[in-house]
Amino acid sequence: MDEPELTHRDEDGRSLPLLVWRLPKPARAISSAVLGGGLGRCDWVVNATVPMSYDRRDPAAHLRSLAAGLGLRGPGVGLLTGVDVSEVVHVTEDGVRLWATVGLGTPIQAAAPPPAPALAERVGTVNFVVWVPRRLSEGALVNAVATVTEAKTQAIRDLGLDATGTATDAVTVLCPPNGPVAAYGGPRSRWGAPLARTAYEAVLLSGEPARRADPASRSAT
């Protein structure tokens, strides 16, 4: 899987960046994205920056329009974020390639009550796009999403935030559609272990500057 293309689009009088992965061959994917979520074939991935004030009620249709404007065809995955995607972090280990755009403006505890309205206006999203070079079983793909999420939460905690993530995080894991099948994707499995480490490192690399700049965001100890 190659590096994404960084491009821009004009929208509502603004120049907004987006990342485009044009896959050389169709991949098998699992995703929690608003467009292309679930299990299935994937020919492309888009991760698009939107304004912090974004309030469209049709994000999937918006992403389809962006994909069409880029000349993308076939099934794909579309992600949105308030983060500047030009600041994407890329981490690799043992053939696993992971790209992350990390926004921690609204860290939450997953099982906590809804935030106060003032906090709800703040935007934060962590998007992951991951390539695993071995075909994963359906169960392993599901487990890989859990592994990425667990590693993300570990990194967020190690950044000093009393949170498990944000309310809008998304994960996309891609692998070859053919070849020998790996049955496991957990954090101690052959492919889950480097997957966990790359996700952890990417969040730390992205989140540490923000943590240093905003000491009030650290949890009390």
Joined together, the tokens standing for residue 143 give 């487990």
Q: Give 217's pLDDT tier (boundaries 50, 70, 90).
A: very low
Assess whether pLDDT exceeds 70 at residue 122: no
Q: Give 209's pLDDT tier (boundaries 50, 70, 90).
A: low
Q: Give 120's pLDDT tier (boundaries 50, 70, 90).
A: very low
Per-residue model confidence as pLDDT tens digits over 105-115: 888 899 998 76
Assess whether pLDDT exceeds 70 at residue 211: no
Residue 22: other Cβ atoms inside 10 A: 15
Q: Average pLDDT in the 4-16 region?
A: 94
Instruction: Give the pLDDT confidence score for residue 218 in this predicted structure.
Output: 36
Q: Quote the percentage of the chain above a pLDDT of 90.
A: 81
pTM higher than 0.85, yes or no? yes
Q: Give 58's pLDDT tier (boundaries 50, 70, 90).
A: very high
Assess whether pLDDT exceeds 50 at residue 219: no
Residue 3: other Cβ atoms inside 10 A: 11
Instruction: Give the pLDDT confidence score for residue 18 in this predicted structure.
Output: 97
Dist CA 192 CA 144 (whole Å): 6
Sign of the torsion formed by the C-alpha atoms of 187, 90, 208 and 77 = negative
Q: Please, are residues 51 and 12 in contact by the beta-carbon 8 Å criterion?
A: yes
Per-residue model confidence as pLDDT tens digits over 127-174: 999 999 999 999 999 999 999 999 999 999 999 999 999 999 999 999
